[in-house]
Amino acid sequence: MGKKGIKSLGTRSFKILIIMSILLAFTSGSGCLRSFEEESYYNIRDMDISADRVGTAFVDLNVTTYVEKYHGDTEKNTSLLLKAYSRESGLLVVQKEVELGAFENGETKAVSQALSLPKTGGYEILSVLFEEKTRKVSGEIKVYNLDALPADLEDIGLEISEMDFLVRKVENGKVLIENDIYLANEGRETSQDFRMLVKVRELDAGLLADKVWAGTGKIRPQTTVIRSVNLTMPDQYNYAVEVLIWNNDTVVKRGEDYIQLSPEIKIKDETQTAVRKIETSDFESSEERVPVPEEEYPMEEEPTPGFGLFLSAVLMCFAVFLRSRRRFR
């Protein structure tokens, strides 16, 4: 091979080397060779759990997961999926997901999530971290014997939503007022039959005019019922009506409303007041309504299946027919 051939071969090798260098620089710049270096690594360092609210049927838990990014330069969006599995059945009970955004290298985030779980047995709670849609790491914490947790004292599920007052009788300077109390069960199960004390107190002197004990009755969840009591008080005074619901020896719910039989009004430039005369008898109701005795409120239940009217009539006719046959024998 002559000098010309050797020179041509050297030129060709030099061109190939240049092309390979360009390709190597291109692939490096596009990230193909750097993908391993930019891989992100996370760690769930710890998980804390606490009971925010303990009801009679449900427990509201607060789960805090501590997520740490300990390697990687890329900043990709992350999310944390929280799952609760029943320890008895292994079934998924509830799950929640929260977006966390991007982590910086070496950053730790404390993520708090709320779970509402039935107050039965125990649960396995799993936190799963995703980067974009890739699962990165998970952590687990267990809770036991939730049904042994005592319910919060004031968590009876009942709310006193409203009160109405109806004048029933005015006689000898006394007023008989029927007080309708609206009780709403905002809980998740039928309420107990609690004791309820209704007091009427004169506003200025603070003296009690009357007080009555009643029962709330058992109220189905997500329903509202009306319980009525009769209160007697002197006419031409202003009163506060207080409702106290008792659970054994503890007051667990309060409500208050007002009856103004002698209201004050502002006059002239609104710097002076005067008492407005109210003819209470003008509001006396003639509607006949038999109140249910306070101690005998029935539980609000679904109707029980039984004999219909038509079937009862058929049975009665059949009995008459049998009696007629016996008479003519």
Q: Per-domain residue ranges for the chain?
A: 41-148, 158-296
- At 324 the three-state DSSP class reads helix
Judged on CB neighbours under 10 Å (0-12, 13-18, 19+), 131 is buried
Would you say the CATH fold of 158-296 matches that of 41-148?
Answer: yes
- pLDDT of 250 reads 80
CATH architecture of 158-296: Sandwich (2.60)
Closest CA to 219 of 161, 170, 140, 304: 161
pTM tops 0.75, yes or no = no
- pLDDT of 97 reads 93
Closest CA to 125 of 57, 226, 53, 51: 51
b/e code 171-209 from CB counts within 10 Å (16+ = b): eeeebbbbbebebbbebeebbeebebebbbbeeeeeeeb
CA distance 297 to 215: 7
The answer to whether 197 touches 216, Cβ cutoff 8 Å, is: no
- At 9 the three-state DSSP class reads helix
Q: What contacts 120, CB < 8 A, 6 or more positions away?
A: 146, 147
Name the H helices within the chain.
3-30, 309-328
* pLDDT digits (tens), the chain, 329 positions: 555 454 555 566 666 666 666 655 555 544 444 444 567 889 998 999 998 888 767 888 999 999 999 887 777 889 999 999 999 899 999 999 999 988 888 889 999 999 989 888 899 999 999 998 889 999 999 999 888 887 765 667 788 989 999 999 898 989 999 999 999 998 778 888 999 999 999 998 889 999 999 999 999 988 999 999 999 999 989 999 999 999 888 888 889 999 988 887 655 555 655 556 666 666 666 665 554 444 445 444 444 444 455 555 556 665 555 555 554 45
Q: Quick one: 41-148 is in which CATH superfamily?
A: Immunoglobulins (2.60.40.10)
CA distance 169 to 325: 59
